[in-house]
A and B are shown apart, each in its own frame.
Chain A
Amino acid sequence: MAEFISAEELLEASQRASEAGYRKMDAYSPFPIEGLSEAVGFYKSKLPLLVFCGGLFGCCGGFFLQWWPNVIGYPQNIGGKPWDSWPAFIPITFELTILCAALSATFGMIALNRLPSPYHPAFNVERFALASKDRFFLMIEAEDPMFDLERTRQFLNELNPREVSEVES
C-alpha cells in the first residue's frame, strides 16, 4: 500500500499501476475523485438498474394496491364514479414509486459496496486513518497475479509516494 499526498498523484499512480498490468487493486481517498474508479478497473455501477427495478416495483405495486380493493376486493360506489377511476390513484402510486426506488438506492449502494464490513485488512495500517482526512492510498492486493512482495514494493516506490507499507491481512 502506497500513500500519496494529493489526488492527482493518486490518480496518476493508479493509472500507471493499471498500465503495468496490476488488476486487483483499490484506491482510497477522502473524497470522490473523478476517473479514479475507472483507473482501478471499476467502470460501471449496477445501481441505476437496481433503482429502476425498485421504482418499477413500487409503481406497479402501488397502483395494484389501490386498484384491487376498489375494483375487486371492496368496491364502493362513490358519487357515481367508475370503480377504476385511476387518476385518483396517481398520488399514492407516485409516492410508492419514489419510496421503493429510494430504498433500493440506499440499500443497493450499501450492498454493492459490501457494507457493513467492520473488518478490512486496510485498517491494520496505522496511517490508513488519514484516508478519511487528507491522504490518498493505493493498495495492490496479494491476490493479483502479478503480485510479488519485493517487486510490487519496488514498483510502488517508483511512483514517488510518501510512504509504502505492507498490509497484514
Chain B
Amino acid sequence: MAGIEPDNVGTLVSPGSDVLGPGHSYGSVTDKISAIVLTRGTGNKYKVGFGVAVLLFIGLNMGITVLMAYGVGVWGINIPVGWGYAITNFVWWIGIGHAGTLISAFLLLMRQKWRTSINRFAEAMTLFAVACAGMFPLLHMGRPWLFYWLLPYPDTMGVWPQFRSPLVWDVFAVSTYATVSLLFWYVGLIPDLATLRDRATKKFKQVIYGVFALGWRGSARHWKNYEMAGLLLAGLATPLVVSVHTVVSFDFTIAVLPGWHSTIFPPYFVAGAIYSGFAMVIALAVPLRKYYGLEDFLTIRHLDNMGKIMLATGLIVAYSYVMETFMAFYSGNKFDIYMIMNRMTGPYAVIYWVLIAVNLVIPQLLWSARIRRNPLYLFLMSFSVQTGMWLERYMIIVTSLHRDFVPSSWGMFAPTRWDWIVFLGTIGFFFTLFYLFIRFLPMISIFEMRDLVHKTAEEARP
C-alpha cells in the first residue's frame, strides 16, 4: 500500500440510505474505519476512560486474591442465601452478551441490513461479557482451581459429573457459547484483518495483522466458502443463544423452591437477556458514535430500531412479572402466594418496587419516537434497563432463598465490600477489554460496510 497513489477514478459513490450516510464509497468506508485503528491514536478521553477501567480491573484482581486467601466467607453469602452476588452477576453478564450474538446471527438470517454497522462491536461485547460471566461460577465454587471436576474426564476414581444436573448443563452451555462466539467473531474479522494488513505502514503491524489474517486474498472461491461458513455459524448460533439462557434459567426452575420453580422462566430469561443486551449495545454505541464521528454509520435509524427491540423484549419481561404474580394466586399454593407477598412487602420490598419502576415503567417511554431517536435519552434509558435487569436477578435469587417453606430456616443477605469490589471489578474488566478492542481492531465490519455501499448504490439506481 505504501507506494500506491490513491486515486478515485470512476469510484462508486453511494447516495446513502437511512442506515448509511450519503456520499460514501468503498474507499471512504475502508479509510474511515481503519483509520481509527491505524492512524488516529488515543485521545485524552480514551486515556481517562481506559485508566478508570484498569483501576477497577485491579480491584477485581484484589477481590479475587482475597477470596482465594480467605474463602467465599468474605462475601455476604450464608445459609440460607448461598447464592448471592456471584450468581446475580453471572446471570446478568451472560444476559448482556446475548444481544451481540442475536444481532450478528439472527438479524443476519433475517437479512436485516441495519445490523451491519453494529454487529462487530456487539459481538465483541458478547465475548467480553461472557468472559466476565464465566468468572462468577468459578469463583463461587470456593476452590476454583478444581473447576475441572465439572468436566467429563477419565479421573482415577471413575467418578463422572452428574449429567442430570443443570449446573453441569451450564458448564457445557456457557463454554460452548464462549467458544462459538469467539469463532464467529474471529471468522468475521478475517477479511478486515487483511484490510488492516494491507493498510498498515509499520512492519510490525503488517506482520501481526498478517498472521491473524491467514493470508486472506478475497478470492471469489474464498468468499463463497466464507459466506457459507458465516451463514452456517449464524444458523447454529441463533438456537444456541436461546438455549444458553434457557439452561441458565434451568438452574433455578429445576429446583422446588417457590419463586424459582416456574415454567415461564426459560422464555422470560431469554427475553430479559436480549433486553439488557440491547441496553448495553446502546450504552456502547452512543458514546462511540459521538467520539469517533461515526454518525454516518451508526445512524438514528439504528438507535431507533434498537429502542424498538428493547421495548418489545421489555414488554415480554413485563408480561412475565404479571404472570408470575397471577400464577401464584391462581394456583392457590400458599408458599407461592407468600413468596410474592414477601417480594412486594417483605424486607426486600424496596428492591422489588425499584425494579418495577426502572425495568417496567420507565421503559414505556420508548413508545415515543422522540425518545427513541434521541441518543442522550436512549443512553440514559439503557442504564435504567441494566439496573433493572440486575435487580431482577438479585430479586429472584435473594428473595426466593431467604425465606422458604420453614420459618426456622429463614435468614437475610447483605453484600459485603468484597461483593461490591468483585462486581465493579468485572465491569472494569469488561471495559478494559473493550477499550483495547476499539484501539486495535476495527469496531465496525469494514467489508460488510463496503457491501452495504454496493447494495445501497444498486438500490438507488433507477
Spell out A's residues near B (CB within 8 Å): 5-7, 14, 26-33, 36-37, 39-40, 42, 45, 47-48, 51, 55, 65-66, 69-70, 73-74, 78, 81, 85, 88-89, 91-92, 94-96, 98-99, 101-103, 105-106, 108-110, 112-113, 115-120, 122-123, 126-127, 129-134, 162
Which residues B137-195 have CB closer than 8 A to chain A? Answer: 152, 158-160, 163-164, 166, 168-169, 172-173, 176, 179-180, 183-184, 186-187, 191, 194-195
Chain A to chain B contacts (Cβ below 8 Å), 16 pairs: A7-B454, A32-B224, A33-B223, A37-B220, A73-B160, A92-B172, A94-B243, A98-B236, A99-B179, A102-B183, A105-B229, A108-B229, A109-B229, A116-B215, A117-B215, A122-B217
A48 CA / B231 CA spacing, docked (Å): 10
Stretch at the interface among B8-16, B269-277, B290-298: B8-16
* B224/A37 in contact, CB under 8 A: yes
Nearest CB on A from B339, distance (A)? 24
* B172/A91 in contact, CB under 8 A: yes
A29 CA / B216 CA spacing, docked (Å): 11
Kindly state whether residue B237 has any CB partner on chain A within 8 Å: yes
Kindly state whether residue B264 has any CB partner on chain A within 8 Å: no
Residues 276-308 of chain B: 1 if any A CB is under 8 Å from the residue's CB, otherwise 0? 000000000000000000000000000000000
Nearest CB on A from B293, distance (A)? 20
A26 contacts across to B, CB distance below 8 A: 219-221
Kindly state whether residue B27 has any CB partner on chain A within 8 Å: yes
Spell out B's residues near A (CB within 8 Å): 1, 3-4, 9-12, 25-27, 30, 152, 158-160, 163-164, 166, 168-169, 172-173, 176, 179-180, 183-184, 186-187, 191, 194-195, 197-199, 210-211, 214-229, 232-233, 236-237, 239-240, 243, 247, 250, 447-448, 450-451, 454
A51 contacts across to B, CB distance below 8 A: 232, 236
* A42/B224 in contact, CB under 8 A: yes
B228 contacts across to A, CB distance below 8 A: 45, 47-48, 109
Q: A30-B450, A98-B176 are in contact. Are A91 and B243 (CB under 8 A)?
A: yes
A162 CA / B10 CA spacing, docked (Å): 10
B229 contacts across to A, CB distance below 8 A: 47, 105-106, 108-109
* A88/B214 in contact, CB under 8 A: no
Q: Closest B-chain residue to A65, C-beta based? A: B152
B194 contacts across to A, CB distance below 8 A: 132
Q: A30-B26, A73-B160, A102-B237 are in contact. Are A95 and B243 (CB under 8 A)?
A: yes
A108 CA / B179 CA spacing, docked (Å): 16
A-B contact count (CB 8 A): 204
B158 contacts across to A, CB distance below 8 A: 73-74
* A133/B223 in contact, CB under 8 A: no
Interface hub of B25, B216, B447 (most chain A Cβ within 10 A): B216
Interface hub of A37, A66, A133 (most chain B Cβ within 10 A): A133
B191 contacts across to A, CB distance below 8 A: 31, 132
Q: A101-B236, A162-B9 are in contact. Are A127 and B4 (CB under 8 A)?
A: yes
Q: A102-B180, A134-B26 are in contact. Are A88 and B164 (CB under 8 A)?
A: yes
* A109/B225 in contact, CB under 8 A: yes
* B163/A70 in contact, CB under 8 A: yes
Interface hub of B12, B218, B232 (most chain A Cβ within 10 A): B232
* B218/A29 in contact, CB under 8 A: yes
B1 contacts across to A, CB distance below 8 A: 129-130
A81 contacts across to B, CB distance below 8 A: 164
* B210/A118 in contact, CB under 8 A: yes
A39 CA / B221 CA spacing, docked (Å): 10
Q: Closest A-chain residue to B191, C-beta based? A: A132
B226 contacts across to A, CB distance below 8 A: 32, 109, 113
Q: Closest A-chain residue to B180, C-beta based? A: A102
Q: Closest A-chain residue to B161, C-beta based? A: A69
Those 6 A-B pairs whose CB atoms lie nearest each other, nearest first: A134-B26, A109-B229, A116-B214, A37-B224, A69-B160, A32-B223
* A45/B225 in contact, CB under 8 A: yes
A40 CA / B232 CA spacing, docked (Å): 23
A65 CA / B172 CA spacing, docked (Å): 12
* A74/B232 in contact, CB under 8 A: no
A131 CA / B222 CA spacing, docked (Å): 13
B197 contacts across to A, CB distance below 8 A: 132
A92 contacts across to B, CB distance below 8 A: 163, 168-169, 172
